[in-house]
Structure 1
């Protein structure tokens, strides 16, 4: 009669640690991926807001609507390049109709910037390929410009 080795409590404890690792490690990896995605979105939101504010400020310094739109577009492009933000698609809407008001009258210009932030390289199954981040900023037109 051959004797089979008995499983000891020590052997079972090693098995429990393996099962815990198999359950916990994927959850930790998913959590870290989610944190990276949220951090990327938060940074993109800050950069998009700063670029929209730069565009609105540049437009508010011009005297005509056409020049205000051009200045805002140039300022937004420069701010996006300076911050190194790469968007899959960018939409810039500039409302500079009040920039051509006569001297002494108040007005505002606004810039709305939308950027499709890429998340596909994070490679989590429940995160879409990209998400849109939008910021809108306004700036008052200087009523005494040109004096």
Structure 2
């Protein structure tokens, strides 16, 4: 990665503009970025508002200073995800690099809700409300939905 002004220029191994260079752009004019709604192995997920499309989105962004290899992996994740059209797979809306060189993609924002991880923790902890809300039959349906999405993706 070479620097040109404040924007990063990404090249392939031969010094030609690569996938990351083609994604170069400004994040600020299009998105109003809000609070963090999640964090994972690839980076943070932030609530954002897409001014162009007039909708709330989840914006997944790598930490600044991430390696080129990691940035390409995030772009690959977005490219693969956007090809999947399934009710249990979130659609990807946009992918790019902001003016500081941070790689990002946006996807459908799920309204605030309890995550599957939260539900599993409550069930493991023996929470009677969790068992009442998530009956055996409902848990089986959720697992089936996850399995169908994984099967579709692979």
Give the TM interval when normalised to the shorter protein. Answer: under 0.3
- Which structure is higher in RCO with an 8 Å CA cutoff and minimum separation 6? 1
Highest CA radius of gyration, 1 or 2?
1
Higher helix share: 1
Q: TM-score, normalised by structure 2?
A: 0.21
Higher strand share: 2
